[in-house]
Each structure stands twice: as structure tokens, then as C-alpha cells.
Structure 1
């Protein structure tokens, strides 16, 4: 009977064997597989890889790793040995993790401050004994929530429905904010009934929108990160401006000279509970196109120049410290491509007509003088 020795096999792994005959002519078909044979157990020889960690909750040290695959566990009772110590200290703390599939260990101790540096290494074991440890890596404990409130918080109204809030970044260090939360509520209400908005990133300004006009708001700012929220700043106040005039510009009149439009309207008068008018905005848009031409004026009149060819829509609204007022009714003006349009004038209360201009030529007859 022929025999052979298979060497350099992995411990605690099942193998099957097949035999193939070979001669000078060639190689024959392999035999049927043998019964499965498992090699004997051995101490683990491979340490965990990609040891890292960080983050977690306050006072936590989070350690993570890539688990050792079954083929390298070398026996039953496989687990991990998590060893760590504060950087610069003596003596390792060791914790046993009995699950072979584990990928994380959390250690909690309220005595160490946020962002404490730890030396960490990870070993393996099974029923045959302890295997090797990974290389030592430095992992920091969780940073903790922000410790300080933002400073120099300011708020001022920019319209009847908007308030701009600004602040300065909190001091760097443990508990660094990853963003800020702005809380705001009306003066006559409780803080709990107010609203909250967060910055997308570590920004230092925000515009609050959708507010009520002519109202006083209280505003606070606090930093936050993955651990939690820090203390709120002292509340500051800001009063939204009065609402813009509800009455739109009326009695629009215009005179068209070719592609030029002379436009006027009755001034808008704000009510006592509305913001004073500080000017007007005239919008000019060509039908079928998205571009809008904007003209601002402090007077209830303006001159517009229309490109040749097309139908144009004109509308006007008042401007105030509280924002933009209501739009007027629309005017439609048509210009012809390549042909200078005839002069016309109209208001919103009369039909459009064309004016034919007649040139009167005067011929002065002078009698002949006698010389």
C-alpha cells in the first residue's frame, strides 16, 4: 500500500484528500474524496488587524477591530484579549471578549477626562492558549459634549419675517462643537413652545424665517456634537419689522414709444401697522422665457427699454423695510421684430389704442420785394 504525508496544514481545519496516478503517458482521473479529517488544535498564530476606535459616549473608550476568520482561529474556545492603558502609565488592563465574531469593545470610566489618549493592543486565545497581540495603537476616549456656550451672540431683523443671528465659535478643545442649535420663541411665549434649528456645518450665522411681523423674539445658541449639547448662550432679543404694505400699486399708466416704455402709477401709502414704502420694484419678463429684468426706483415711475420682438409682461410692487409688498396687475406690451412699434399709451382702466401722428407742414409765402 502506498502512502504520503501532507504537511504545513492549518490547525483545526477539516480536509479531504484525493489521489491521482501519473506516468510517462499522462495523468489519470482522481480518486473519490476521502472522509473528512480535522487537524489538531493549536494556539492562535494570527493577531486581529485594523485595530482602531474613538468616538462613543461621554467617558467611554471605544475599541474596534477586524475579526479573525475561522480558518485562523486554530481551535475551539476562540476569543479576544483587549489590553489598554492610559498613555504614559504602567500596567495593562485586560478584558476578555469571548465571542469569535466580536468587532468592538467599550470601556467606561467616569474618572478619566474627555479625549484621554490610551495605548491599545489586541490579542487572541483559544482552548490551547494565548496567541500574539497586535501592534500598539493610540486611541482617544470620547470627547464629551461642548463645555462652553457660543459668545457674542447678536440678532437683528432683516424683514417682517426674518431675523439674522450671528455668534462666535466656542473655544477649541475637548468637547468641540460639530454644529450649533438656535432656539427662538416669541416674547409672550415660553421657551419650551419655541422652535429650534441647527446649522448644517460648523457655521456661525443663521437666518430665521417664517416669523411673525412686528414681534419680539428671544434667541439662544448652543453647540452640539455626537455626545450631546453644551450650555446655551444668554438670550438676546430682536423685533421683526412691520409687514410690507398689503395694497399693491394701482392705476398703472404707460406710454410706448417704439421699444421704450414710460411707466407710472399711484404711490402706495402704508397703514399704521405696515412698514413705510422706501421704493418700488418693476419686473419685466418676456413670455416664454425665464429671464426677468428687475428695475428699482424710489419714485412711482420709471423708464423701461424693451428688446425688439416679443410680448412682455410688466408688474410692480412696493418695497419696504418689512419686505416686498403685493404685486400690481400685469401689463402686456408687444413689440414687433424689425419694425418700430407705433406710439401708444394706456392705463389699466382703458382699452389700448394706436395714436397716428400727423406732421403739419407750414409754408410761408413771402411776397417779392422791390429793389
Structure 2
């Protein structure tokens, strides 16, 4: 079988050739024998120890003929599935029951094997996420003078992986707020107070949170008290928190540098980069105590200084940010060129060397190594393997690793014959997408005649054949042939060209009144050899006939016509109705507009512009007329003495539909009123506006003592 690569190396590296196109051809899977090829390899995994699920699954799947068998390695030692009941295999997946960090933490590899060879998966690290409890031992009080600096130790419990620190002051959930005087280091977890004040006296509790499980635990309280033997005088800053002298950072990561000082007065922290400027993308956090540099690049490396100053003096700390450009896993076709760049910064300037499968790599005919750059010309299958770049100086070394996989296989198509139906006058594309490595040469022919590109027939870069303005004469059998050094394959496309479909939707515009019904008819004129399907839409959204309360009904009396019946129309049914018609050749869309006349919508909010003892001047804005002009407005009011909303007299009277203000008259003095407005048109009366704010009429010049019955003034018995 051309392109087959035999058994793999036994050094733990996956050096197989992925013959990807076999995966898509079930017949060939049984026709040929081939060695194991991974479909799924295990990934790094963090297992929460306190989770309800007590099992860990490391996933692995491979294809091969004969069918592969599986085994697993942990830290290069074979897992004993037979004798250790905690381990079991389901297909290729390793299941670990009652997993524990002491026994199961480590690097795992899946091994797939059949009679033709063995492959080892990539490394997968299994870690355990947990958060222990703080020691229950009582913490002693910390006593300092006012004005003195203090460090409260967190002493976090055992944990994995990282945790986030915060501090509770006196009682939960009162948290310590960081500022220029107080700082919580996310490296040590300690709370630093540069200058203690009387308000700081109290109980402090360290709270830690696991970043994976979100579990939280609290430390025993640490009391902070003030000594009574005087106040601490001013003193120069002392840096208590700083970043390491050398910070290693890979390209693209975010670096966080901490710096905080104790002192009286409270020190000011400033940052600078020696021989350059702080990157513009850098962010200062926590009142200058944290310098955060995202997406580290080569130009960000160098020496950084944080300086703490107050009126008594200053002190500084410097550290070096060392940068390395990492290499990544790469897949290449046989014959292509590999170019990996590995760059690092440091003092002294680092030197570089390369390893392949753990052994030193030397320059040779196709291999170049210059200043950290590795170039391999015309890669071959023997170049596959695990590569490492080592950047080192007298202070240490940084490793960057990546896997190189070389692909090699003959061309193969998922399907070898397809049918494409086009319409006259439209452009049509015939695809040719073989799976092959290296990339194959592609040619087209129609029947026995090789196709030569022209203004109307274009061969695109992705090997697709595009025919512009297709006609009946373009019908026929088109063959795409793909070929490389490992073999060749062909795909046949039968092209049929049909007359373009037309769609008629009637009526194209219709006006109806609320409660009426209407029928929209959609007719397709198309090639009779093609099946046709219809889809109705309202405002570009497909209609759901089951959820519309019986208002819509789909009616298809013949294969080329579909009607839409809309019954008992509501205002919300107004809009643009689309009919989308589809055949295997093309899709056509037509649209009609439905306008629904109905009672007006509510007017805009009512504003009381002026109030007297018996009148209120009101204004509002027009609401929607729902395709029927507003003819009149009705002004209504309510008070604590009325039975709901009552129509009030107005000036002018009546209030016509073109007006937006009126005066309510004959109101009672010293009464709280709300007002609203209702619009009317030829269809009916709409919903009222929202009520105005409550207002009180003015006090009258004369007072009437009246008898009341059900909130209505019946008789004025005495006036003064």
C-alpha cells in the first residue's frame, strides 16, 4: 500500500504518519491492514478531589486494522490494569476509581498496538485540585505602635493548583480594601499595612479560594492591637514585597510584578524600565503595587525597577524580565520546509542548542541552525519526532518543546461521484477537494477533453472549477483528477442545467382591518422534473403554525402552489410575509406586505403643565394610528373621591385628533387628580395612555360644605 509507514519508534514519541483520508472510507478500512493511528489522545486533566464524581477518565482512541489493543503508562511505568482493581479500560479510555494524588499524580501516555506496530500518545499530566484546612491552632495577637508598618502572615493550607487570597476584617463579609496603605500579595498571601492607624485595630482572617473548585477556607483570626508606649515616628521606606530577580516569561503570556513597601509617611511606588519605556499596554493595579504586562513580546524584556519613596527617603528594587519565544507542535506535508524560531533574552546573552528525541541535533545537508532558528528543508518522514530548543546562560536554561509530524498519503476523495444541478444564467461551482499529503496536482476534463481555463470557465486556487453564466451546453460529466508521488484519484461530477425558477406571491400588498381574514398565495414556475418545497416567514422569521393560536394555516392545493391563510387578524400580524421556494437547483424568495388597520395605540405620557383651583392644562404626544387616522381624544381623570376613571369636560370640546393639548375644566379645588388620554379612530377606541403624575388643584377663594354620596357632590349646603 503506497504511503504506509510501519511501526513507530520506542522512545515514547508519536512518530506515526496519519493517513487521514482512510478515516473517511469505511470500505478501505476493511480492505487494507494498517497500523494504529490516534483519533483522540489524552489531554492534561485537573481532578477535583472533593467532587461527587469519584472517577477520573483519561480518553484515548485509535484506528487500525487489525483493531488496536490498549495499555497505559504513568511516569513511564505500565499501569497494571489486571491486578489493581482501581484501574479499568473501556475501549481505549483509562478509568481510575478513587483516584488519589499520592498514587495517581503524574504524566500519562496511551499505547495503542496491533500486529503492524505500536504508537504512543502525547504526554498528559493528571493533577489533583484540592484545598486543605488551615491549622486550627490559635494565632497570637500582633501588637504594633501607631504609625508602624506590619505584615500579617496567611500561612495557607496545602492546595493544588493556584489559590486566590483575600482578607476579612472583624467579621465576614467585611473584606480588607486594598489601597496605597494596604496590600495583599497574591504570591505570598500576606497582608501588608505600610502605616498602621487606630482604625486598623481588630481581627484579621485570611480567606483562600481554589481557582478550580472554587472551594474556600478561612484561617483562625489574627488580632491586631496598638501598643500604648507611644507613636512610631517617621522612617524611610522598606520594600517588603518584590518580584524575583529573574522572571522567565514565554511569548504571549501575561506577567505580574508585585512591589510594596512599609514606611511612615505611606510610601509612593513608581515603576520604570531601565534603558527604555514601560510598555504602553502595561497596567498598574492595586494603587501602583502591581505592574501587569499582557501578551509579552521580545521588546518587553529587560530590567525593571520599582521605587518606594516618602519624605524620609527612598529605596528601589530591580529585576530582569527574561523572554523566550516557544515552538509549537507542527504538521507538514512531505517536501515542505520547517522553520522554528526560538528566541530568548538574558544577561549574559543566551546561547542555543536543539534536541531531537532527546539527542543533540547537528547541522547537516537539509538542517540549518542559526541564532536559535531551526530550518529543515524538504522535510521527510525520518524528520518526525519531538524537538526541544534549549536557551541557556550561566544562570540557567529554558526549554521549549514541540512535535513535528510529517504527513504522507495518496489522494483520496470522500465521494467519487456527485450530481450538481444548476440553473440557466447562474454561476456554478464544481468542487475538487482531495485529501492528500503532499498537496496534489489537480486537472479537470469534460468527458475525454481536458478543460482549458477561459473567461467563462475559471479554475480557482482551491481547485474549484467555476462556470460563469451557465447554459444548457454546459451539461455533462466533469472529472477532477488529483495526483502526487504516492498515487492518484478521480472524482466525477454530473452537471445538469435547468431553467431558472420564478415565484409569484399575491397580493403583494394588502390592507385589512383587525378581525378580518386574508389569503396569500405563493406559486412557483419551475422545471417539472424537480421537487419543490415552500417555507413561509414573517419579518424574516419562519412561521410556527402550531404556536400561533390557530391564526395561520398552511394550504397546498397543488405541488407548485402554497397558500397562507391568516384568520381573525390581530395588530401584531402586520409585517412582511416571505415565501421561500426551493428546489435542488435554486432558491427563490418573494415578499408581500400586510398592513393591519385597528384602533389607535395609547398616546404618549400626559404632562400637567399648569394647575388652578378648577382647571388643569394638559399635553401629550400622538401614539400610533394603526393605519387609520385618529379622529378624537377623550380626557379622563380620577381622584380619591371618584369611582375609577371619569371623562372630564375640556376646553376646547371636543378634542380633535390633530391636537396634542387641552384644558380639563370644572375640577374641584384642593383635590388630588391623575389624568390620562384615550384616542379614537374609525376602527374604534384604543388603550389609554399611562397616567400623569398626581397633582393637587389650588385652594378655592370660597369654601363649600357639601354633602357626599358615593364620592359625588350632591348639594352645596353652605358657602363662605
Q: Please give the TM-score of this superposition, normalised by the length of structure 2.
A: 0.26
Greater fraction of residues in strand: 2
Larger relative CO (CA 8 A, sep 6+): 1 or 2?
1
